[in-house]
């Protein structure tokens, strides 16, 4: 082994991404797989392929390599006791790296299905593996390896793809045609013209020319096979915390369940950098990790969340419901869980849409933080999402301006978060403040012009990025007039929905049931919801219990 490879083997692992299994753990694993000798140069799995197996190194060493064009570099070397792969192995995604034996040795080959059962069933070893995979995915996202998107950051299609991969926590790197000198040379090497951009270079060197979100999702394993024929017991539309909870509980209880989300699993909570008041996680949990754990848990019970899958229509059909999706798919089901959440509200500011995705954001994840690191930023909003974003961004930005329209920071923000915001030396709180204009320097943002809504005095704050968290409007247009809504478009449930006729008999809706029998709503889309992750999860679980009650009444 070379000195460089030895250095990669001994690199410190402060986050637990590369744990070494104990002898007892290895002995317990061996019956689940097959021991196999390997020779130097043998490829265990290749970049761009979906591996059917999980590998544990028993002896010798395995190099993890990344190929880009004609150049291959070694990213890390695993020795005895280490296991290979990352989060995509559990989710059926193509690998971002190749695994090649660096010297003679022996590996344990375990089918991925057995690995999934292990992760779901062994609380100690399973959590060790899952935690390592989550951290590895975060490290890959920060490394610039993974998908390669080539296009102009000012192109709407480029911004669309960037938002999609970021929301789905896919590693990527942007080669910006407006800033990167090598981007056009790369296009020539790929045989792609500028008018065909943006393009996505896949881990296996495949190229997608201006793909739709659905095309990209299929290529990276997010969109699965077309739904099988037949009637479902339950269809979950939307995979935020409430929808994911409904999927897990329904599937674990034997209901034939399908689930779709228009953008990404996790919903609005999935864009939250850290949730610190969720029961059972005293040190907090990121929305992305909560979503990933929930998706894997749902897969354990046989339900895959399909992304993207945007519902367009809901229609009653002989005691059942037919849900039509944007790609022409139709799913027929006995009951429906509406968990479509809400879309982000936009500021009434000139030229805002031209800056979205480049310096105006509606989420504060590591991806956005990486793009504006070391620059002053502004956060708009007075709720928990805005407070969490401000604290997270202050970890890397020198100054975070928190712009609050009201006069009391604690009116819509949890007390623990108010204390964190007030104590943080890099956060400057501006009450009674509204954004009136975004100042630009060329094509980049340089400052925000704000106004005191009491005195109407204006001021300019230096900021290179603007994060907007001012609430959301419910995503309910697809309900086609079959479900009663309040004046703001939120779904009415329970006593608010009014009585309806079932088999000629009038009855009141069950809690969380809408004006149509067997159709339930949970989370932010529901009128009167609490707008908290824990309450949405509780509603998702409760809705499944009510689905059982509805089906029993039908029988």
Query: Which tokens belong to 242?
Result: 């409430």
Residue 2: its pLDDT value, please?
46
Q: Which residues is 449 bridged to in the sheet?
A: 437, 460
* Contact between 117 and 32 (Cβ < 8 Å): no
pLDDT in tens, 286-331: 888 899 999 988 988 889 899 999 999 999 998 999 999 998 889 9
Question: What is the distance between the alpha carbons of residues 68 and 145, in angstroms, rounded to a whole number?
Answer: 9
Residues 345/470, Cβ–Cβ less than 8 Å: yes
> Among 170-174, 209-213, 501-505, which stretch is predicted with the lowest mean pLDDT?
501-505
Q: What is the mean pLDDT of the chain?
A: 91
What mean pLDDT comes out for the span 3-11? 52
**Cis before 295? omega within 30:** no
* Per-residue three-class SS string for 21-78: CCHHHHHHHHHHCEEEEECCCCEEECCCCCCCEEEEEEECCEEEEEEECCEEEEEEEE
**Is 245 within 8 Å of 536 (Cβ atoms)?**
yes
Query: In the block, which residue shows the tokens 């500011």?
Result: 349
Does residue 38 or residue 363 have the better pLDDT?
A: 38
Q: For residue 33, what pLDDT is reported?
A: 96
Query: pTM for the full model?
Result: 0.81
Residue 261, pLDDT > 50, answer yes
Residue 3 — pLDDT band, cuts 50, 70, 90? Answer: very low
Residues 6+ apart with CB under 8 A from 416: 276, 277
> Given this model, what pLDDT does residue 99 score?
98
Give the pLDDT of residue 226.
Answer: 62
The yes-or-no verdict on residue 461 having pLDDT over 90 is: yes
Closest Cα partner for 136 from 179, 194, 98, 84?
84
DSSP string, 386-438: HHHHHHHHTTT-S-EEEE-SSS-TTSBS-HHHHHHHHH-TTEEEESSEEEEEE
- Residue indicated by tokens 């509204």: 434
Structure tokens, 215: 């095309």
Question: Alpha-carbon dihedral of residues 377, 380, 384, 388, nearest 10 degrees?
Answer: -10
Structural domains in the chain, CATH included, are: 3-142 (2.60.120.10), 147-218 (3.40.30.10), 231-343+514-554 (3.50.50.60), 352-468 (3.50.50.60)
- Residue 133's pLDDT band, with cuts at 50, 70 and 90, is very high
**How many Cβ atoms are within 10 Å of 260's Cβ, its own excluded?**
25
Lowest mean pLDDT among 43-47, 266-270, 384-388, 539-543: 266-270
Decide if 307 contacts 265 (C-beta within 8 A): yes
Between 137-141, 268-272, 456-460, the lowest mean confidence (pLDDT) is in 268-272
Half-sphere exposure of 361 (CA within 13 A, CB side): 32
pLDDT tens track for 220-258: 998 876 666 789 999 999 999 999 999 999 999 999 999
CA dist 119 → 83, 116, 135, 447 (Å)? 13, 5, 15, 47
The tokens for 526 are 């529901």
Q: Would you state the pLDDT for residue 153?
A: 84
Q: Which of 330-342 are b and which e, b meaning 16 or more Cβ less than 10 Å from the residue's Cβ?
A: ebbbbbbbbbbbb
Give the model's pLDDT for residue 12.
64
Contact, 171 vs 145, CB < 8 A? yes
Task: Say how far apart CA 176 and CA 184 lie, in whole Å.
Answer: 9
Question: Helix crossing, 287-300 with 125-143: angle to 10°?
Answer: 130
* Predicted confidence band of residue 276 (pLDDT cuts 50, 70, 90): confident
Confidence (pLDDT) at 201: 95
Encode pLDDT of 417-438 as tens digits: 999 999 999 999 999 999 999 9
Work out the percent of the chain whose per-residue pLDDT is above 90.
68
> Which CA distances in Å does 312 have to 72, 247, 489, 500?
45, 20, 16, 24
Whole-angstrom Cα distance, residue 369 to residue 93? 25
């Amino acid at each position: 082994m070379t000195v460089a490879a030895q250095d990669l083997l001994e690199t410190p692992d402060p986050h637990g991404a590369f744990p070494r299994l104990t002898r007892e753990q290895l002995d317990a694993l061996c019956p689940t797989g097959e021991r196999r000798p390997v020779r130097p140069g043998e490829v265990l799995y290749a970049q761009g392929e979906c591996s059917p197996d999980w590998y544990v190194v028993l002896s010798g060493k395995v190099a993890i390599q990344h190929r880009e064009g004609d150049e291959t570099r070694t990213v890390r070397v695993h020795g005895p006791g280490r296991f290979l792969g990352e989060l995509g192995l559990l989710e059926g995604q193509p690998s971002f790296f190749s695994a090649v034996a660096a010297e003679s040795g022996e590996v344990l080959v375990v089918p991925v299905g057995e690995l999934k059962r292990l992760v779901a069933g062994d609380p100690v070893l399973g959590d060790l593996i899952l935690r390592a995979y989550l951290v590895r995915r975060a490290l890959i996202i920060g490394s610039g390896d993974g998908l390669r998107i080539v296009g102009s950051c000012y192109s709407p299609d480029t911004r669309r793809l960037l938002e999609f991969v970021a929301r789905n926590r896919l590693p990527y790197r942007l080669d910006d045609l407006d800033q990167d000198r090598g981007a056009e040379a790369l296009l020539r090497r790929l045989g792609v013209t500028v008018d065909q951009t943006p393009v996505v270079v896949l881990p296996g060197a495949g190229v997608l020319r201006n793909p739709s979100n659905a095309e990209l999702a299929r290529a990276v394993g997010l969109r699965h096979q077309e739904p099988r024929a037949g009637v479902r017991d339950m269809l979950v539309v939307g995979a935020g915390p409430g929808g994911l909870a409904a999927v897990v509980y329904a599937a674990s209880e034997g209901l034939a369940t399908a689930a779709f989300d228009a953008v990404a699993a996790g919903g609005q909570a999935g864009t939250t950098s850290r949730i610190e008041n969720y029961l059972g996680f005293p040190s907090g949990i990121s929305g992305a990790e909560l979503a990933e754990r929930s998706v894997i848990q749902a897969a354990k019970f046989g339900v895959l969340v399909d992304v993207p899958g945007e519902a367009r229509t809901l229609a009653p059909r002989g005691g059942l419901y037919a849900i039509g999706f944007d790609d022409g798919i139709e799913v027929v089901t006995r009951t429906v869980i509406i968990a479509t959440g809400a879309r982000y509200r936009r500021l009434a500011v000139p030229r805002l849409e031209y800056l979205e995705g480049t310096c105006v954001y509606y989420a504060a994840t590591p991806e956005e933080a990486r793009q504006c690191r070391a620059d002053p930023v502004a956060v708009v909003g007075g709720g928990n999402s805005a407070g969490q974003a401000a604290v997270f961004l202050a970890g890397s930005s020198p100054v975070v301006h928190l712009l609050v329209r009201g006069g009391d920071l604690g009116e819509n923000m949890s007390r623990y978060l108010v204390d964190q915001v007030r104590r943080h030396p890099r956060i400057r709180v501006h009450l009674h403040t509204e954004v009136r204009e975004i100042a630009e320097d060329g094509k980049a943002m340089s400052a925000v012009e704000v106004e005191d809504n009491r005195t109407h005095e204006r001021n300019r704050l230096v900021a290179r990025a603007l994060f907007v968290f001012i609430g959301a409007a419910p995503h309910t247009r697809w309900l086609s007039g079959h479900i009663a809504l309040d004046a703001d478009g939120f779904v009415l449930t329970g006593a608010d929905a009014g009585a309806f006729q079932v088999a000629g008999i009038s009855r009141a809706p069950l809690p969380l049931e809408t004006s149509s029998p067997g159709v339930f709503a949970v989370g932010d889309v529901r009128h009167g919801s609490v707008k908290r992750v824990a309450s949405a999860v509780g509603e998702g679980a409760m809705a499944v219990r009510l689905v059982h009650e509805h089906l029993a009444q039908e029988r």
